[in-house]
Amino acid sequence: MHASKFDRKIITGLLLLSVLISAGCVAKETNSSVSGDKTTSAISEKRTIAMSADTWVFTPNVVRVKKGEQVQIELTGVRGKHSFTSTDLALNVPVEAGQTVTFDVPTDKAGTFEFRCRVPCGPGHQDMVGQVVIEE
C-alpha cells in the first residue's frame, strides 16, 4: 500500500519538526554553564546553580563563583525540611521536600563561606554543610 501525497507531507513535516526540536535542545545544552569553576556567560549575566538538599547532604556542597558575578542558587528539597544558612553571606533560606526556591548569592567579597542546614533533620544533621568559594 502506498502512502498518499498528503500522508507523506505530514510525515515529512513531523520529521522536520522533530529535527528542529532536537537541534534546539542541543543548542540550549551547549550554551548552559555546568561547571562551578568555568563560566560560559559574561559576568553581567546571572548564572543559576542547581542544588539539592537531601538527607544530610547538599549536592553540590561546594560552589565556586567569581567576585562580582551575579549568581543565584535554585535549591530543591528532596526529603525532609532543610535550610541553606550562611551567617557570613546573610542567607537563611528554608526548603521542604518537593519545593524549589531560588535566591541570590552576594558575591561582593572574595573568600570561602560556609553554609549549613539549620533545621534539625536527623542524626546526620551536623554533617550537612558546604562552602561558597568566591574567587578574585
Q: Domain 47-135 maps to which CATH number in 1.10.1740.10, 3.30.1330.120, 2.60.40.420, 1.25.10.10?
A: 2.60.40.420
Model confidence pLDDT, tens digit, residues 63-113: 999 999 999 999 999 999 999 999 999 999 999 999 999 999 999 999 999
Calculate mean pLDDT across residues 7-31. 45
Work out the mean pLDDT of the chain and round it to a whole number: 80
User: Is 0.95 surpassed by the pTM of this model?
Assistant: no
Q: How far is Cα 29 from Cα 47, in angstroms, rounded to an integer?
A: 14
H, E, C per residue of 100-135: EEEEEECCCCCEEEEEECCCCCCCCHHHCEEEEEEE
Domain boundaries, the chain: 1-31, 47-135
Residue with cell string 549536592:
59
